[in-house]
Amino acid sequence: MRKVDDFPGSKRKRLRPGKVSPPRPVPEHIARPPYVKSKIPPGIASGPEVHDEQGIECMRASGRLAAQVLQYAGTLVKPGITTDEIDQAVHQMIIDNGAYPSPLGYGGFPKSVCTSVNECICHGIPDSRVLEDGDIINIDVTVYLNGYHGDTSATFFCGDVDDEARNLVQVTRESLDKAISICAPGVEFKKIGKTIHDHADKFRYGVVRQFVGHGVGSVFHADPVVLHYRNNGGGRMKLNQTFTIEPMLTIGSINPIMWNDNWTVVTEDGSLSAQFEHTILITSHGAEILTQC
């Protein structure tokens, strides 16, 4: 695999941890998910998230807010802003809408959003690092509104981004879109992984295996575990079920290295990674994207 220092003409420096500010307060009247009181990650809850009409409307509301917050966060991406400033803006918008930022306090996570820059695959903690011209950044937003989570992410360009990064981001977005397009009641979950992997292979991109999509609804992470690579897993999609698809593609190594903060995950060789994520609802006609403005 290529090392980051071998990228022709690249001036990009490897990520280093910045200073993390204290967790931001949430007004007492805003309902908190049950895991907030514990520093132990709750893991994957057993059983799929399948909803009645009221649950579906609640999922639409939380998904809509998450999409609006993500769209706003994307407008802030520019050289000179810190990821902590993005966290501040996201936090404020979420609580202003009467929702709780789901990442805050999940297994001890100290911030209200995940910001994953360049070689960061996922779970980047917002800090004092300033975004630089040419960076790419994934912003992962989840909101807890009226007892339901809406979960979405996108990778944004910061300033003048080179073609190599732009192509990776485009293909990652396409892989998510293609995966959603095959979803419908009765479809095998393993077809999601095949669809994503097949598309990534056309461009010789790697597909990260250790991090997965998941059921989402009244709990943050539930069955099924949605694999983004070719697999022989079982299970089929159910009508009125909600889950995420969130492929992470890399230019180089797919092997993740975790920082000492026990959250930030970067590529082993420092090569770029991109991710997109939607929460979807399985309908009689296919799939409805709940986290789309």
Task: Give CA–CA dist 89/136, Å, rounded.
Answer: 19
pLDDT in tens, 65-82: 999 999 999 999 999 999
Q: ω before 185 within 30° of 0 (cis)?
A: no
HSE-up of residue 213 (Cα within 13 Å, Cβ side): 30
The annotated binding site for a divalent metal cation is made up of: 140, 151, 214, 246, 277
pLDDT in tens, 233-261: 999 999 999 999 999 999 999 999 999 99
User: Where residue 12 falls among pLDDT bands split at 50, 70, 90?
Assistant: confident
List the one residue out of 180, 198, 200 whose CA is nearest residue 189.
180
Q: What percent of the chain has pLDDT over 70?
A: 96
User: What pLDDT is stored for residue 10 in this prediction?
Assistant: 58
pLDDT in tens, 135-182: 999 999 999 999 999 999 999 999 999 999 999 999 999 999 999 999
The annotated binding site is made up of: 123, 140, 151, 214, 221, 246, 277
Task: Give CA–CA dist 138/247, Å, rounded.
Answer: 12
Flag whether pLDDT at 128 surpasses 70: yes
CA angle 197, 240, 217 (to 5 degrees): 80
List the one residue out of 122, 248, 244, 118 whose CA is nearest residue 173.
248
Q: What is the mean pLDDT of the chain?
A: 95
Task: Give CA–CA dist 87/80, Å, rounded.
Answer: 15
What is the length of the chain?
293
- Which single residue is written with the structure tokens 């590529």? 267
Segment holding 202, helix H or strand E: helix 190-202
User: Where residue 43 falls among pLDDT bands split at 50, 70, 90?
Assistant: confident
Task: Give CA–CA dist 121/68, Å, rounded.
Answer: 23
The annotated binding site for substrate is made up of: 123, 221
Please report the domains of the chain, with CATH numbers, ordered by start residue. Answer: 43-289 (3.90.230.10)
Flag whether pLDDT at 6 surpasses 90: no
Task: Give CA–CA dist 225/205, Å, rounded.
Answer: 22
Cα torsion angle, 110, 140, 83, 144, sign = negative
Strand runs labelled E in the chain:
45-48, 100-101, 114-117, 120-122, 136-145, 148-157, 206-207, 213-215, 222-226, 242-245, 248-250, 256-258, 265-267, 273-275, 278-283, 286-289
Q: Is 141 helix (H, G, I), strand (E, B) or coil?
A: strand
3-state helix, strand, coil split of the chain in percent (to 5) is: 25, 25, 45
Torsion of CA 282, 284, 286, 290, to 10 degrees: -40
Q: pTM of the entire structure?
A: 0.95
**Average pLDDT of span 3-9:** 43
Flag whether pLDDT at 4 surpasses 60: no
Flag whether pLDDT at 292 surpasses 80: yes
3-state SS record for 87-113? HHHHHHHHHHCCCEECCCCHHHCCCCC
Flag whether pLDDT at 60 surpasses 50: yes
User: Where residue 216 falls among pLDDT bands split at 50, 70, 90?
Assistant: very high
Angle between helices 53-75 and 83-96 (to 10 degrees): 140
**Average pLDDT of span 13-35:** 97
Q: Is 153 exposed, middle or buried (0-12, 13-18, 19+ CB in 10 A)?
A: buried
